[in-house]
A and B are shown apart, each in its own frame.
Chain A
Amino acid sequence: MSLSRFPAPSVIPGFGFAFGYTILYLGLIVLIPLGGLILRASDIGLAGLWAVATNERVAAALKLSFGTSALAATFSAVFGLVIAWVLTRYRFPGRRLLDAAVDLPFALPTAVAGIALSAIYAQNGVIGSLFAPYGIRIAYTPIGIFIALVFVSIPFTVRMVQPLIAEIDRELEEASATLGARRGQTVWRVLLPPLIPAILTGLALAFARAVGEYGSVIFIAGNLPYVSEIAPLLIVIKLEEFDYTGATAIATVMLMISFSVLLLINLIQAWSRKRFGYV
């Protein structure tokens, strides 16, 4: 028995149309460009790709890109959950304004965000100057990159869990309390588990966004090779040197890593869905 089979004609029409549109859209906008990218990169073969990926400068940039992205996405997931919780569960003046502000990183050109962030986190900036006396530099270091990535990825994690938090049934909390559970236990054992799939989705989106982020990071990173140079910047540098094969090679390596990480998160998510009874 094959699981993937086209559906039989049914009373709910539109499969042919919708499916055709999906394939066309995905083909034109996603699959063909990515195919071209891989085709171009394949000029140098697997050995060549390996050579590019292990080049010292490229490897440092990849490590920085994926490392800070993972950290930033994890931080966003936790912090976003708290923001979503506060915005949904409590009523306070200015709540709607704050709620709208969460979407700002979506709307702002990221270059603007990058310039703003580097201005306040620079050593003579409002926040940067607080840390400078302790010898902590934020702008133009990986810490700066981390802050920029948190900035651009936080809306994803907030917006993913918010509707689920709004749907939590008050009676579940009351039931837990009558059974003797302290508040912390109720949050940990009753309220949090059903949110895990949404938190993971938010994490995946935040990670994807962070890996691909360019605009805000290059302003705050300082772009020192081996220290604060991210992989997307390296691609741009290669392009400016007319090294198209090198650029596509780095892009392909990024693509492969991103794909495996997202696949892994999706698998964990599918497992957690089953585990928590969403069959």
Chain B
Amino acid sequence: MLGPSGSGKTTLLRIIAGLEFATEGSVFFGAEDATHLSVQQRRVGFVFQHYALFKHLTVADNIAYGLKVRPRRERPPAAAIKRRVEELIDLVQLNDLGRRYPAQLSGGQRQRVALARALAVEPRVLLLDEPFGALDAKVRKDLRRWLREIHDRTGHTTIFVTHDQDEALELADRVAILSNGRLEQVGTPDEVYENPASPFVLSFLGDTARLPVEVRDDKVFLAGEALDVAVPPGTGPGKHDIYLRPNELTLTEAGTGVPGIIASVRRTVNGRRAEVRVAFSDKLIELDVPPGADLNVSDRIGLKVQQARLFPSG
């Protein structure tokens, strides 16, 4: 689940977990109606952004917690719990740290303990609430890959809440995008990226530049000038916004496509990046350009739009 902060993704996750109750609607786990089950009965694995580890228990005891609190009839024997804890410590790659206390671990290690603790109870669904939000960029990236591996190995249905588009697109099989408490779109990462259902989804996924245009006679007019852009089928006449994505633009000669002026050119690790002032507005858009291209500040250029993304304005 992806969305900006305040969009309601954490609330939705907590409703699924049973930590909060919905005013209307139902929660289903597969075919089973879980709306009226308590948190304990739902058997979810919940991982919090700030770990929520039990500070007075060791790593191993934290992981064993969910098994030890079961009623005596359902509780596995002590030896089985011990074996299961060792398996999980192995799975989350925290070997030799079982006897440590959470205070003696780094942030990344703590979150792995939290995940192992959630997995210990064999949850029907694993719920992760911005689990990497409190970690630095490098650790986040490593954990992302690692989480994907664990998911593929254990096969738990997992709902991952984040406000980071990269994280969402890279990790998910299906992405649900939320805004102001509403589901904007649900689909595979490719679907939501290629065919965004709303201007919100489009502008939330990656950098975009938005320009006000008018559609008339199957042509797109920007400030009175017709643009060299194909109008997608099904677009009616009237005022629209066109959304430009840097990776869907190619740099051409002035006079074709959307006009622009080079505002700056910078060297990057992979080539060069130009900042282009788009079409008489002060909207800047960043483009990667071939290393050999002869570009100077305040050159006039054209931007060929490979795919017009138009939404009615207002």
Contact = CB atoms under 8 A, between A and B. Distances in A.
Contact of A171 (B42, B44, B48): B48
Nearest to A192: B56
Contacts of B50: 169, 171
B16 to A, nearest CB: 11
Contact of B56 (A177, A179, A180, A193): A193
Nearest to A188: B69
A176 B65 contact: yes
Contact of B52 (A171, A193, A276): A171
Contacts of B66: 179-181
Contacts of B39: 174, 177-178
B101 A175 contact: no
A194 B19 CA distance: 23
Given A180-B66, A180-B69, A279 B40 contact: no
B40 A177 contact: yes
B103 to A, nearest CB: 6
Contacts of A185: 69
A172 B103 CA distance: 15
Nearest to A175: B52
B63 to A, nearest CB: 10
B65 A189 contact: yes
Given A181-B40, A185-B69, A189-B69, A175 B46 contact: yes
B48 A175 contact: yes
A279 B100 CA distance: 12
A172 to B, nearest CB: 5
A174 B19 contact: yes
B54 A180 contact: no
Interface string B9-52: 00000000111000000000000000000011011111010101
B69 A181 contact: yes
A36 B221 CA distance: 101
A181 B65 contact: yes
Given A180-B66, A180-B121, A169 B56 contact: no
Given A193-B56, A279-B101, A177 B70 contact: no
B117 interface: yes
Interface string A157-181: 0000000000001011011111111
A260 B285 CA distance: 76
A178 B55 contact: no
Interface residues of A, number: 21
Contacts of B117: 175, 179
Contact of A178 (B44, B57, B70, B102): B44
Interface in B153-205: none
Contacts of B17: 178
B99 to A, nearest CB: 11
A179 B54 CA distance: 12
Contacts of A205: none
A8 to B, nearest CB: 28
Contacts of A172: 52, 54
B40 A180 contact: yes
A190 interface: yes
A175 B121 CA distance: 12
Interface string B108-131: 000000100110110000000000
Contacts of B19: 174, 177-178
A193 B65 CA distance: 14
A179 B101 contact: no
A277 B70 contact: no
Interface string A184-213: 010001100110000000000000000000
A174 B46 CA distance: 9
Task: Report which residue of A172, A185, A277 has the largest number of chain B beta carbons within 10 angstroms of its beta carbon.
Answer: A277
Nearest to A183: B40
Nearest to A196: B56
B52 A179 contact: no
A5 interface: no
A174 B288 CA distance: 47
A174 B54 CA distance: 12
A91 interface: no
A276 B65 contact: no
A174 B104 CA distance: 23
A182 B69 contact: yes
Contact of B103 (A175, A177, A178, A277): A277
B56 A276 contact: yes
Nearest to A172: B52
Between A175, A179, A190, the greatest number of chain B beta carbons within 10 A of the residue's beta carbon is seen for: A179
B34 to A, nearest CB: 13
A196 B66 CA distance: 22
A175 B40 CA distance: 10
A182 B38 CA distance: 10
Contacts of B52: 169, 171-172, 174-175
A171 B44 CA distance: 15
Contacts of A180: 40, 43, 66, 69-70, 121
B190 to A, nearest CB: 33
A175 B18 CA distance: 12
Given A174-B19, A179-B66, 6 more contacts: A171-B48, A175-B54, A176-B65, A177-B40, A178-B18, A277-B102
23 contacts: A169-B52, A172-B52, A174-B39, A174-B48, A174-B52, A175-B48, A177-B39, A178-B17, A178-B18, A178-B44, A179-B66, A179-B121, A180-B40, A180-B66, A180-B121, A181-B66, A181-B69, A182-B40, A190-B54, A194-B55, A276-B55, A277-B55, A277-B102
